[in-house]
Structures are given as structure tokens and as C-alpha cells.
Amino acid sequence: MHSVSLLGCLCLSLSLTLSSASPQLNLPTPQPEVFYNGYTPNVATTPAQLRADRDRDQRYGPPYSDAGGGGNTDDGLDDFRFGQTDDERMRIGYGYPTPRVNFSDSPFSGARFSNHNYGPISSTTERNYGNDANPNGRYSDVPYSSQGERNFNPNDQYNYNNNPNVEFVGINNRNRFENPFLSNQDRFNLNQGYLERQRYQQDRRYQQELEKLRILLVESDQKGSLECTANVAAQWNFETNVNDFTQTEALNAQQRYVEFQRITAEQSKRINKDLIFDRRLYRQLMLQSEVGPNALPLDVLDRYNRLLNEMLFLYNSAGICAYQQPFQCDLHYIPQLKDIMAKSRDWDELQHTWVEYHRKAGRGMRDSYEQLIDVMQEVAYVNNVTNGGEYWYLAYESGNFRQDMDIVWEQIRPLYEGLHAYVRRKLRDYYGPDRINRIAPIPSHILGNMYGQSWSNVLDILIPYPGRKLIDVTPRMVEQGYTPQLMFQLAEEFFTSINMSAVGPEFYRNSIFEQPLDRRVLCEPSAWDFCNRHDFRVKICTDINQRSLISVHHEMAHIQYFLQYRHLPKIFRNGANPAFHQAVGDAIGLSVSTPRHLQTLGLLQRSLDESSYDINYLFTMAIDKVAFLPFALSLDNWRYDVFSGNANKRTMNCHYWNLREKYSGIKPPVLRSEKDFDPGAKYHIPANIPYIKYFFSTVLQFQIYRGLCRESGQYVPGDPRKPLHQCDIYRQPAAGNILKTLMSKGASQPWQEVLEETLREGRLDGTALREYFAPLEEWLRQENLRTNEYVGWNYDGDYCKRSIETAGLQIFGGYYNGATGQKSASYLYPLIILIYLYFSLRLL
């Protein structure tokens, strides 16, 4: 009787499991076939949402997409759809409310607060940062006294000894944020209570109920796959035939699927998971229980969605007047402003464009974003996370994720500083020393990009060897009669040559490789998993050029990922974390873009052994990939700080520029104030979409690439004949076997374990990127020595002030972008303040 009573909560959850499969879950009935010839008038969308949804891809993009060459995304609307996977959408939420459902008679009737291994804590809980009393380390959710004993508040609803809904406390003290790579641990670790675990596992009744749970999960997985298929089909129909009707169907299908996921998550949360000792089963239930903002009460969820829609409307409608043309005031970021920032070399025009766009796009949404910060605390609470900052990095399964990423950045920083110093000198030579200080941060508006996140558009100013053209095989591709289908067949052959799967004829029948003539298609490259284990497609309007060739291989890498993990339950059919899909595609792009591979394809006639070609090639890669890293890191570390309360709302714009200066050595073109809200000019901020995955994937692609090249013998550290940047894994089955192992694990294990088991590296490592760019780093070091260039940057004055009046005075002071250095600035600043005070007193 004792063992049966210990199983009470689990048995109560499953007592009716096998009698009737569908009523057990009380889930929406799946529809295997979906017809799109009927009109559904009831669309849960508001006029504000419709205005905000200027482009379908802003909210309903496919799981995996790419914008050319597998490189880093650019800005705004054209880089949202990179990798916002289904599970990530679940965490971050959708831009419309979903109805609530009463679960009082659900068979998943376990304790509401059972199994809070990472749950809410009372006001008496102390944050322990790792000591003898609490070896779990930072952000442990268990209250400890100074002597290391647990403190229990008898009035605390989350006290497991006091809560009548919680029957089992023997293994309940699991910390979600323990090191997931310790033995027998992961984010949902099962490392405790060995004796109880052994006793339960030997109990026949327990085994019977556990088997019922497995069967129940299989049925839930099947229904989830059907619902997912119906939703993806509706999104595909819209993106490949854009009209009002297909958009309505896409909205309806999306809403149905979100509701299905929410119900499944809510019912999964009601299972007492303390008695589930199978790590895989436990992980499946925990991942299925994460519901994101959809767990909010209806009124709060409505507020969350309304805030996002208001900010997106401001972002989408932001338009400015052209420089020195006050009557031409319909310039939007895409396409006009993006084009100006890329092509103009007029300092004043670039500054005007930057200042006006940040004023129009960002300033108006500051109040809404301050409200969103409050709502994100509630999102964290309902998802059993301590604060909005921890929730923001939840998918990466680490209690010290921000610190981990800072460590990775420190590994890469020397390369970035050398690149930054060289770029600053070239820009100073171009614009003049009176505008760019030789030891100061670089003004962000002259880097060819609205956000200074990629410097590729100013390559004409920066290129190390202007007389050496970059490799471009486009003319040879046209000459040899390349077609879009041939390019995909080459990509398929690339993967089969490394012992991976062929895609099959269904892929070619269903995919779209070219822009149809009879309908509008959203042409951005994207790979689609229809959730049925056999239907995988690509949508891309292929051009016959080198960039498209690399992009085609990138998309085919996503398809290979789908193929390799299709045997897993749906909840595991994903990358090991949100960055893995993108990183794998980009790692393949690194191999395909090498001169060696292009020679193998017959697109390059001769070997380019001159170091000048190598330096130009690596430099072109660096001003895209390396320059991007500090921007991505600073953007989401800023969000972590404001969501966790580390940064005050009243100073959050200045905090943003402090981080940009700290990580990037970039400053605004004019002094900013707390009246501004400059982060809001980046699409991912009003859309509330995580950005750290781009930092992670950019670093990880080199780590994966190094592992593949090393295993295949194409890269030998220290051997100048086999440098990493010249490695091509084509026709190297050893590399393909590693890639297959990594892909086949999907999300069934923590990403740290996936890396350890495939690459023998249990963490993200920036040294691979340094090794790839080693020849360029050495060239930059010698070049900066030759020109006596200062490496790094010094703070040369305030970039942001709370006081609008003081900020205005300093802008017109004239020293901000001057090259006279800190000394002249330090004399000028007190003089300006004295003048300001003098006139203020006279006015009084």
C-alpha cells in the first residue's frame, strides 16, 4: 500500500489512460486533410495587427530560412525569419490572444505546483551564488539558511512540505539551472533520490502506469504532428500564393495550432513528473510543458499582444524626409533607407538618415516597451523562472549563459580589436581625421548599415588589396548553363558524397525553386518541415550566381537536418538549441565557398595561391561575421539586463550605448538622451524576438566546421599546407558521419551533450573562429604595427545623457566626433556647462 500511495499522483493522472485515447487528452480533433476552397470570416486579428503585418514574413515565417549565402542576416524585415522555430514561437508567443480552456476535468490532474524543480519562490528565498551550503550555485531556487539548512515558511504556497497538492518531496529539489553536462544531469536533471528511484522502478504498478504514460505521449505526438502539418500547409499556401484568402487561412490555422500546443502544454504541466526517472521521457514532458506567454492570464496575454502590435505598427510605419529634400517624406527603411546607408558616402546625409530614422522608429515606442518589461516578468513567473532575463535565455539550458557568452566573446575579442583598428584607420583616411578620432570608437552611421552590425557595404573603402578581385564564379555558371534545379541537384550530391541521405523525388516535385509567373510568392529562401516525416520542401527564387549557389547548399542542410531527426517524437524534431540549424547550414556554406570546392565543380580554372587573394577573402568574411558578433551580443545582453532589472528603465537607452561601446567600440553619430529609444529601431526589439541565437550560431558554425575538417583530415592544426579556411569536406564520409550523429539527436539531449558526443567539446568555443581567421589576424597585426595604429578604443566623452537640454548643448558643442582627442574634449566640456549655467541663471 505504501508504494501505491507514493504513486498516487501519477496514477491519478493516468487512471483512464487507455479506455479512450481522444477524450483522455481532450485536445482539438486533428484534420488529416485540409481544404482551402472555403472562406473563414472569423479571423482573430485587429486593424492594428493588419497594419503591423505589412509583410507576412514578420509573424508567420517558416521554421528555417536564409537570406543569401547562409551569411548573417541584415536588418529589419529581411532577417526575422531566420530560425524562429516552432518551439521558440511557443516560448515567445504570437501576436494575438488565444482563448482559455477549463482543465478541471482533465485526466492530467496532478498537483498544480508539483515538481517545481525550477519553480516560483517565496519572498523569503535567498539567491545563492554558490557556496558550501548550496553547491548548486547561482540562482538556486531553494531557500537556505546561513548554516546551509533549508528554511521553510509555513505560509508559503510553494513550500513542498506545506502544500497539500504536493505529495512527493524526496527528489523534488532539482535546480533547473544546474550544469546540464554533469553526469546524469540535464536541464531537467534526475540526479537525486537514488533509493526512492530504485524502489519505484521495481514496483510493478509503477511500471504499468509509466507504460500508460508512454502510450499517451505517443498518441499526443501523433495528434500534434497532424495539427502541425495542417498549420504548415496553410503557411506554405500563403507564402507561395499571396492573397487575402490564403492569409486568412494562415491566420486561422496558426491560431488553431497555438491553441492545440497551449492545451497540450497545460495538461502536461499537471503530470507529477517527480516519479519519472527516464531522462528522455522526463525531458519530453518538460519541453512539452513550456508554453511561453500563452500561459499568461487572458487579460495579461491580451496586453502583451497589444503592446507588440503597437510597437510593430510604429516600426513599420516609420518614414523620414530625404536629406535636404523636406517635401520628399515617404522614405522607409526597406528599401530606401537601407539603400542609402549602404551606398551613400556623404557624412551629413548618413547622419541625417540615421538620426531621423532612429527618432521616428524608436522614440515613440519607448513607453510601450517599458510596459513590456513589466509583462515579461509575469511571463517569467508563469513559466516558473525567476525573472524575465533568465526566461530570455531559457532555451540554452545554462544558469550562467550570459557569463558563458561573455567568455566566448573574450576569446574572439583580440581578432575583433585588430579588425576594428584597421577599419577605423581606413575610414579616417576616407572621411578625414577631423571627423574620426584615431583612438575613439567608430561612429555607427558610416559603416554601411543602419545598426553597424555588418560592414560589408563599405568594402570598397576597406578592402586590403584593391587590385585583387574577389572570386566570382557567376559568369562561369551562366556560361555552363546552370539552372535552379541543377544547383539543388549539386547540393544533394554534396551531401550524398559525405554519406548522407538523398532527398527523393517528392522534394523536387513540391519545392519552389523559381518565381512563378502567375502568382505572387514570398521569395526569401526558406526550408519547410511539414511534420509528417516525409514532406520536406524549399522555397527560394533562385538566381544563377555564386551567392545563390551557397544559399542553395545552406537550405539543403536544413532539409538534411529534417531527414536525420525525423525518427524522433515531434517535440525533439528541432535543433539542440535555437542556433543549431543555422550553424549547420552556415558550416556547409564555409566549405562550399572555398576555391578548392569551386575548382572541383569546374567553376574556377586555376588555383589562387597568392596570399593577397586569401587576405581579401578572409577580410570579406570577417567584416560580415566577426563584425556582427558584438552587435548581437550587446543587443540581447541589453534585453537581459532590462528584463532582469539589472538596468533601470529610466536609463535603458544610455545602457544600450554603454554596451555598444563596451563590446563593439561603436558610438552614435550624435549624442543621445533618455528621450530616445534607439534599440527600438531594430525589428527584433518591437517584435520581441531573441537575437542571441545569431551570436551563438555564428560562433558555432566555425566550431562544427573545424570538427568536420579535423575528422576528415582536411585541417591539421599547425600545418600551413592544410589551413582551416581552405578545408572542403566534399567527398569526405568521415565528416558526414559526424554531421549525421549531430543532426540525428535533434533536441533530445542538451546541446552541451550533443557537442561533447559529436565533437568532443562540451561548450561553445570561440577558438575555432580564431583558427579560421588566423592568417587575417596575423596580417592585421602586422598592418596595424606598420601604421602605428592604436588597437582598441578609449571612451572619449558621454554618448548618452538623461538630460535633454545638456545633450542638446553637447551635440552643438562640436567636439563629439572630433579627432582632437580626449584632452580637447575635457577642456571644452566644462566651458559648455558654465555657459549653460550662466544663461540659465540670467533667465531666472
- The residues annotated as belonging to the active site are 555, 684
DSSP state of 46: -
Task: Round to whole Å and give the CA distance between 460 and 504.
Answer: 43
- How distant, in Å, are the alpha carbons of 6, 10, 196, 271 from that of 3? 5, 12, 10, 18
| 786 contacts: CB under 8 Å, gap ≥ 6 | none
**Concatenated DSSP letters of 345-366:** --HHHHHHHHHHHHHHHHGGGH
Grid cell digits, residue 56: 507576412
Q: Which residue, among 257, 264, 262, 255, has the nearest Cα to 24 in the 3D structure?
A: 264
Estimate to the nearest angstrom the gap between the alpha carbon of 350 and the chain centroid: 29
String of b and e for 770-779 (b: at least 16 CB within 10 Å)? bbbbbbbbeb
Contact 609, 56 (CB under 8 A): no
Reduced to 3 states (helix: H, G, I; strand: E, B; else coil), residue 538 is strand
Grid cell digits, residue 763: 561548450
**Concatenated DSSP letters of 618-641:** HHHHHHHHHHHHHHHHHHHHHHHH
3-state helix, strand, coil in the chain (%, to 5): 55, 5, 45
Estimate to the nearest angstrom the gap between the alpha carbon of 635 and the chain centroid: 11
At residue 411's C-alpha, the angle toward residues 410 and 417, to 5°, is 70
Task: Report strand pairing: 666-667 vs 536-539.
Answer: unpaired
Residues in a beta bridge with 702: none
Q: How many CB atoms lie within 10 A of CB 213?
A: 20
558 is in an annotated binding site: yes
Task: Round to whole Å and give the CA distance between 826 and 424.
Answer: 22
Secondary structure element (H or E) that encloses residue 307, with its range: helix 298-317
Secondary structure element (H or E) that encloses residue 666, with its range: strand 666-667
> How many residues are listed for the chain in this entry?
844
725 is in an annotated binding site: no
Helices (H), 383-432: 388-392, 401-431
Grid cell digits, residue 515: 518565381
Contact 473, 546 (CB under 8 A): yes
Reduced to 3 states (helix: H, G, I; strand: E, B; else coil), residue 233 is helix
Contact 759, 704 (CB under 8 A): yes
605: exposed, middle or buried (C-beta count within 10 Å: 0-12, 13-18, 19+)? exposed
Task: Round to whole Å and give the CA distance between 515 and 520.
Answer: 8
DSSP state of 470: P
Secondary structure element (H or E) that encloses residue 195, with its range: helix 194-201
Reduced to 3 states (helix: H, G, I; strand: E, B; else coil), residue 475 is helix
**Concatenated DSSP letters of 673-705:** ETT--GGGGSTTTTTT---HHHHHHHHHHHHHH
740: exposed, middle or buried (C-beta count within 10 Å: 0-12, 13-18, 19+)? buried
396 is in an annotated binding site: yes
Task: Round to whole Å and give the CA distance between 747 and 753.
Answer: 11
* C-alpha dihedral, 638 to 642 to 643 to 644, nearest 10°: 100
Grid cell digits, residue 571: 517535440
* C-alpha dihedral, 361 to 524 to 628 to 795, nearest 10°: -10
839: exposed, middle or buried (C-beta count within 10 Å: 0-12, 13-18, 19+)? exposed
**Binding residue positions:** 396, 554, 558
**Which residues participate in the annotated binding site for Zn(2+)?**
554, 558
